[in-house]
Structure formats: structure tokens, C-alpha cells
Amino acid sequence: MGVMIDGAWHAQEPESGGKNGAFERPETSFRNWITADGSAGPTGTDGFTAEPGRYHLYICHACPWAHRAMIFRALKGLEDVISVSVVHWIMADHGWTFEPGEGVIPDPVANADYLYEVYRRADANFSGRITVPVLWDLQRDTIVSNESSEIIRMLNSAFDAFAGNPDLDLYPEALRAEIEPINERIYHTLNNGVYRSGFARSQESYSAAVTELFDTLDWLEELLTTRRYLVGTQQTEADWRLFTTLLRFDPVYHGHFKCNIRRLIDYPNLWNYTRDLYQTPGVTSTIDHTHIKRHYYGSHESVNPTRIVPVGPAIDFTAPHNRAHMKDAA
């Protein structure tokens, strides 16, 4: 994946595997918050006031973390408020790049060839991984945040004065006590669990990760027996944090990352639920299935040395689902 050390790019990342060959995801580096009035958020500094045209989002269509941000941007109606650049699907010796390709949108900030140049523009001595999404402040010429879970909360509420859908609240205060523990379990065992399975360096760590992953899928299948969405009849951020992993499960994670005890389509409730979310107006505009498959199979040489991209599976996300009639029985 590569890493920056003191502002210099290194194509080979130093060994940093976890205990017993387990994959460990590093912490994100930029944790400021955009707020409606520019006051400081839970972390970082103040001065990042929500304004139309001031912020720019860097994403990769393949990345589930970046996909969250694109979904929130679309659902809230912020397409004309926050501009976007899209990196190339292949992550190789230079990490994420703006190499020309179908669906790539170049960097308008610094005309960068590589995303690490954007990070270096924000911090000349930056050390860490170069990840997406990145939320950039065009006025202050720096990175606001590269933490997806916090970016989606900014998009959910900070820009309501300019949003096309300001009344949509995907993190309502009344449901937060239910949302948080669901987020926590799904993040560790499923969102990150697919990576813990796919990048495990020992049988022990792989077996532990994939077992936890399917325990969570089994739990979700049962949970969705009586409720349309994870906390009832209303979509929340918990659904969209889960969705970006489920969307990629059968096309990528089942085979590429060896998450193959069962397929998503083998779970009736989860599969109908995934199609329900997929068919939410505005969501399909954020999805690029070609980028998703080309990235995973073409970028992870240690997992797929031939870099051959499979033709299948054939999946119809547009087939009718059976969720619209459901009531919350919780």
C-alpha cells in the first residue's frame, strides 16, 4: 500500500503486522470537523465553517469507507455544495493516483498526479498512510478530515442550510443509543472483518476473523427478520455503514478475501435488505461496480498474484425486494 514518512513517499511499507499475523488498521490522522457556525467539533480545531463551494472531497469508487461519504453527499443533496475528485481504481507503487481512466476525476486543487501530494500539501512532514476519503478545505488549503465515520456526520447536519434534502437526518438523537453499539460491532467484525480475513498472515488470525464475521452476518439476518432497517423503520447511518460492505461481499470479499462460508445471497433477509438500500433514490449514482472489482483483484498482488479479474458473479441488485411492508417489532 505504501506510506509517507516525514513527507516522503515510500512504496514499501515497513512491517507492522499485528499479533499472530492479524491485520491491524491504523488510526486516521486528520480529525477536524466542519460545523454550521465554524465552532470546534469533538476533535481538532475550529474555523471550518460550512459554506457552499468551500470543500472538496477525494474518493475512490472501490473503497467502502469513501463510498459512505458519497452516499451521504447524494442523499443529503450536496452535489452542488461539495465538489469531488475520483482516484484511479489501481493502487500500486504510488498508492492512489489520478492516472487517466474511465470515471477518474482529476485533482483541481494542486493538479496532483498522486494523492500523497495532496497530503503533503496539507502537511509537508506528514507521516502515515494515504487513504480515502479526504475532505479538503479550499479556503484554508488543508485537509479537514480523512476519517469517514466523522465525515458522514458532518455531511449529515453541518450543511443543512445549503442541502437539497435538509430534513433527512441519518443520525437522529433519539436513536443514537441504538445506533452506536450496532456500528461498533459491524465495524470491528464486518466492515474491517473482511480485511482482517483477507489480509491475515496466519491460519489462526484468518479463522478467528472469518468466524466473527459470519457470526455477525448470522446476527444481522436474525435482526432483520422483524425490522426493515437496523434500528427500525427509518434508515440511519448504521444502514449505510453496513451497506458499502454488503454491496462488495459477493463480488469481491467472498472469493478474493476468502469470506466464503456463505454468500450474501444465501441470507434471505440480508439480501433483500441490501437490494432495498441499493434501490434508494440517488444511491446508484454513487456506485461503480467496475472500479470495485478492478481495484481489489488488480491491486492486491499478495492476495491475487495474477491480477485476473473474474467475470462473475452475475448479481441483480435491482430485483424486487420484500422489505417495504415491514413494521418495526422491536
Active site residue 60: no
Alpha-carbon span 7 to 126, nearest angstrom: 5
Which DSSP string corresponds to 117-146?
HHHHHH-TT--B---S-EEEETTTTEEEE-
Between helix 148-157 and helix 237-248 the angle, nearest 10°, is: 130
User: Which backbone phi and psi does 65 adopt, to 5 degrees?
Assistant: -70, -45
Pair 238, 179: CB distance under 8 Å: yes
Between helix 64-75 and helix 148-157 the angle, nearest 10°, is: 0
Residue 285, CA atoms < 13 Å, CB-side half-sphere: 12
Alpha-carbon span 48 to 41, nearest angstrom: 9
- Name the DSSP letter for residue 189: I
Alpha helices in the chain (DSSP H): 64-75, 115-122, 148-157, 176-186, 193-198, 203-223, 237-248, 254-256, 268-278, 289-299
Active site residue 259: no
Alpha-carbon span 39 to 31, nearest angstrom: 14
Alpha-carbon span 161 to 18, nearest angstrom: 44
Alpha-carbon span 77 to 155, nearest angstrom: 10
Q: Is the dihedral of CA 100, 103, 108, 114 positive or negative?
A: negative
- Name the DSSP letter for residue 266: G
Query: Residues 149-177, buried b or exposed e (16+ Cβ, 10 A)?
Result: bbbbbbbbbbbbebbeeeeebbbeeebee
Catalytic residue among 55, 58, 60, 63: 63
Annotated active-site positions, please? 63, 195
